[in-house]
Amino acid sequence: MHPHLESVLWTDDQISRRISDLAAQISADFLACSPPPVFIGVATGAFLFLADLVRKIDLPITVDLIRAESYGSGTVSNEAPTISFGLKVDIKDRHVILVEDIVDTGHTLSRVSEHLKSKGASSVSVCTLLDKPTRRKVNLQLVGDEKYYRGFECPDYFVVGYGLDFAELYRNLPYIGVLKSEHYE
C-alpha cells in the first residue's frame, strides 16, 4: 500500500472481477443494438477503467474520449464543469455509454450527458466505476432504454488510484484507496 493512503478500499483483483461483470452485463444489454454503441470515456480519470472495460466488451464498438473539468487541483467540485475537449466520433442517432471514474455530486455527469444529447445521441447510458450517492446534488434523469451501471458504491472518503487523482498524482496505483488528509489539506 502506498504510504500516503489510510487504507485500500478495492484491490486490483476486486476491480478486475467487477469490470468483467459490468462488461458481461453491458454486452448482453446491447447485443441487439444497431448500430453498435459508442463508449465515451471522461478523461482523464476514466482512462484505465475505460481501457479495461472495453477490452472485455463482446460487441463491435466505437471508443472516444471527452474532457470535462470540474476539480482542477482541489478536492471540491466547482459545480460548473466545462467541456474542454470534444468528440471526434459522430454520435448522431447512436447509443452512447458514458464511462466515468466516479459519480460524486453529479454535476459533471449531468453536464456531459446533456452535451452528448445535444450532439444527437439517441440515448446516453452511464457506466461508472465508483458511485458516491451521499454527495449527490444533481441526479441524472435516465429515459427510455438508458441504463446506469455501477461498479462499487463509494463511502464519502477522498479516494485515489486506478485513474482517480489528487492534483494529477496517484492515478497509476493499481487499486483504489483513501488518501490521508494531510496530503490534500
Residues classed as catalytic: 104
CA distance 84 to 87: 10
| Angle, CA of 36, 118 and 142, to the nearest 5° | 65
Task: Give Dmax over CA atoms of the chain in angstroms.
Answer: 50
CB 121 within 8 A of CB 91: yes
For residue 150, list its beta bridge partners. Answer: 128
Query: Whose grid coordinates read 444489454?
Result: 29
Distance, CA of 118 to CA of 122 (rounded, Å): 10
**Which neighbouring-strand residues pair with 179?**
5
